[in-house]
Amino acid sequence: MRRKVYNMRYENKKAQTAKPGQKRKKYVEHSSTKKTQHTLHEDVSVEIHPQSTEENDGDYVTQTTAAQLQKKLKDELLRKSPHYEVVKQLLDLDFPERKHFIKTVKGDVRLILEKYSCFHQPNHLQDEMSRHLQKSLEGLKAKWELEVNIILKYGEEKKLLNISLAWSLEKKTSEALQILPDLFAAGKSSPTGLKKSEMLLQFVDDLEKKEEAMQKSKKREVWLLGVPSHRKCFVLIKGQPLCELNSMVEAFFTLLSASYTFSVCYHECVGPAMMWLESAFLGDERVNTKDMTSCKKSIQSYLDFKEKLTSPCCSFW
């Protein structure tokens, strides 16, 4: 039987078209007399035509401009030390074309990384999720400090763990990632050879066991591999190592960012949890609520618990 996956997003909504008479946007940095300063030249611009088509969702970049952007981005990425701000601005300009490309290659990780090697870097991955959500992640990271406490308290209510007041935010995040699949997809089995608690995060004792754990990675779309003895956490996607971090919180947000960047679908035992994270926590209105039917009761149960926990009369806070 083919395993069931959750496609968590609607097809991209048609972008709003420019109003008649509206000037097209130009993204330009002024040149500098300093040779060492990285700049974007005046010929880098995006033409947005008012006509919208089903094929490109209204985001139209001329072939000439797209080629210019791609060349500048490629040249910058080939530098020994690519300038973060320059790459970020070029990725901003290239976003409509990149969405179309990723959709065309059906989220093929190898092809995407060949063209956009910068997505091996956590900061560029998180920037990409910001583009999809059209919001800064700083507010979401502050929100997570509160949300993770509710998740853990709910998990304790469900007898999935016992909370310690001494836990740091890093520890809380790792514990939350291990219980999320059970909170929102109770009764759904994990792939053979894997525990449900390992679907989003798995720990190994040392780096030597990293390769052994990665052999099972093809059964998980995107997940984290933690090595506490070395204070490292690796983000893996579709069997390939993507990047390395030394913070579990940053690894969690990079995990979410990778799912957006590469348009990931999830196994049924972890799909509901990820859809809840994207719709309720990240506030993404594009999540397909029809795919959430099977976990509607568990999500509502969590929301009821959260409302009760955050009420003024609750002693937890």
**Contact predicate 22/288, CB 8 Å:** no
What's residue 180's pLDDT?
A: 95
Q: Looking at this protein, which amino acid is placed at residue 33?
A: T
pLDDT digits (tens, 9 = 90+) for 114-127: 999 999 999 999 99
Angle at 89 between CA 85 and CA 94, to 5 degrees: 145
On the 0-12 / 13-18 / 19+ scale of CB atoms within 10 A, 252 is: buried
Q: Among 31-40, 139-148, 289-298, 308-317, name the most confident range.
A: 139-148
pLDDT band at residue 154 under the 50/70/90 scheme: very high
pLDDT digits (tens, 9 = 90+) for 91-118: 999 999 999 999 999 999 999 999 999 9
Q: How many helices (H) and strands (E) does the chain have?
A: 10, 6
CA distance 27 to 45: 6
Q: Among 19-23, 38-42, 96-100, 312-316, name the most confident range.
A: 96-100
Whether residue 313 is predicted with pLDDT greater than 90 in this model: the reply is no
Place of tokens 């990820």: 274
**Contact predicate 299/292, CB 8 Å:** yes
Where do the structural domains in the chain lie, given as residue ranges? 13-104, 137-309
Whether residue 13 is predicted with pLDDT greater than 90 in this model: the reply is no
Question: b or e along 46-65 (b: 16 or more beta carbons within 10 Å of the residue's beta carbon)?
Answer: bebeeebeeebbbbbbeeeb
Q: Could you give the percent of the chain with pLDDT greater than 70?
A: 75
Q: Could you give the percent of the chain with pLDDT greater than 90?
A: 53
Residue 235: its H or E element: strand 232-237
DSSP 196-219: GGGSSEEE-SSGGGHHHHHTTGGG
**Average pLDDT of span 159-184:** 95
Whether residue 174 is predicted with pLDDT greater than 90 in this model: the reply is yes
The residue with greater pLDDT, 287 or 128, is 128
**Average pLDDT of span 55-82:** 76
Nearest CA to 199 among 9, 92, 38, 183?
183
**Mean residue pLDDT across the chain:** 80
The residue with greater pLDDT, 313 or 85, is 85
What's residue 33's pLDDT?
A: 36
Question: b or e along 150-188 (b: 16 or more beta carbons within 10 Å of the residue's beta carbon)?
Answer: bbbbbbeebebeeeeeeeeebebbbbbbbbbbbbbbeeb
- Please name the residues in contact with 55: beta carbons below 8 A apart, sequence gap of 6 or more: none
Whether residue 83 is predicted with pLDDT greater than 70 in this model: the reply is yes
In the structure encoding, which two tokens stand for residue 288, read together?
Answer: 């397909």
Nearest CA to 248 among 263, 234, 268, 230?
234
CA distance 290 to 259: 19
pLDDT band at residue 79 under the 50/70/90 scheme: very high
**Average pLDDT of span 11-29:** 42
pTM: 0.78
Q: Among 12-21, 62-71, 263-272, name the most confident range.
A: 263-272
**Contact predicate 59/94, CB 8 Å:** no
